[in-house]
Chain A
């Protein structure tokens, strides 16, 4: 009999408790253990492998609160056969879950620093657990700034939470869209344009960045122009993951495996091959 606590290839059975439509092609699933056993607690930035029985398995970042590991929350886009099947799941439907895998945002080593969180599109999902951790331990961090960019206001994730975070006195939230639609009267432009004037001290800030890789590439450039050094920039990387546990090599990224050495990676460790087409 497999010891599911030590066998990373053994999925546990989870049930869908709630399904929330975030926008036209993005949804959030809230899962609970359905057979008594639950996965170990996750840390902000890690991911699970979600298995739709008979269809397939994919990696998805955990986007819930790390202090509440019983209910797993995952946000994803319906872009392929597995995620489209997942989008059709309803309350009480079951799926397999393995994890948590990968590295995490370095919350313990950045205490005392200012934090700049830069998210683009669905990239806000892997950052949300870090935001929950920060808010639960607010006194441990300096100034905290969230910069979020989306295609349009209709594509924004977690709109209600963004508004709640924005209303706090100890968290600064700046949002921009690529295209103004409807009654949008806020900032228009890519998220990188907010970096030059965002209120953080570049000499004492750590940046967490998550979004499409091209967005992360230009975000890193903007952060570095501002004065944030490469060893204080963390990216959540993505590659085609299959096993999630460092066995198959599908997610190789230079000398690293994203599933094992990432997804959260410090930029100075990957800058020599980041952005190279052949990697």
Chain B
């Protein structure tokens, strides 16, 4: 039977993380499941978790008056959702909804922040990993924004 620590260390986001840190953060984690169309969180709510997606597909949405929820990006398996837990005021900027049966590991935000405050090396490690994700998503979003398939793209 696979332990939570094994699941965490096998996920690309945490690959190479020191074993002692894996043990530390595993105490903040738990398995979660979402059925198709089930919400992970809503825009504006307290960002109390982040997720390692193990299986499935999650849509990040923004509600646009007159149009309803608009999907701006999807996050699939082997990816991570959520960095609002690291940035004050710790509120979700988007809504996340499962498009398929989705399994993830959820990390409690308060627990993670306490551990990072107590162990700055762990905190730095988390910052580095999330900075990489943010940089990658920013680049992808800029490419999306360029509308590269349009007539002048």
Residues of A participating in the B interface, judged by any CB pair closer than 8 Å? 25, 77, 79, 120-122, 149-151, 155, 176, 178-180, 184-190, 192-193, 196-197, 211-212, 214-215, 218
Number of A-B contacts (CB under 8 A): 71
Specify the chain B residue showing the minimal Cβ separation from A151: B149
- With contacts A185-B99, A190-B143, A193-B140 taken as known, whether A215 is within 8 angstroms of B148 at the C-beta atoms is yes
> Is B150 part of the binding interface, using a Cβ–Cβ cutoff of 8 Å?
yes
Q: Mark B73-110, 1 if CB is under 8 A from A, else 0.
A: 11011110000000000000000000100000000000
A-B pairs with beta carbons under 8 Å apart, 8 shown: A120-B149, A121-B148, A178-B149, A188-B72, A192-B140, A197-B12, A212-B153, A215-B149
Specify the chain B residue showing the minimal Cβ separation from A150: B149
Taking the closest CB of chain B, its distance from the CB of A109, in whole angstroms, is 30
**In the bound complex, do residue B153 and residue A187 qualify as a contact, i.e. CB atoms below 8 Å apart?**
no
Task: Name, among A79, A120, A180, the residue most crowded by chain B CB atoms within 10 Å (CB to CB).
Answer: A180
Which single member of A77, A178, A192 contacts B151 (CB below 8 Å)? A77
**In the bound complex, do residue B140 and residue A214 qualify as a contact, i.e. CB atoms below 8 Å apart?**
no
Specify the chain B residue showing the minimal Cβ separation from A77: B151
**In the bound complex, do residue B72 and residue A151 qualify as a contact, i.e. CB atoms below 8 Å apart?**
no
**In the bound complex, do residue B59 and residue A25 qualify as a contact, i.e. CB atoms below 8 Å apart?**
no
**In the bound complex, do residue B143 and residue A218 qualify as a contact, i.e. CB atoms below 8 Å apart?**
yes
A180 to B74, CA, bound (A): 10
Which single member of A77, A180, A212 contacts B71 (CB below 8 Å)? A180
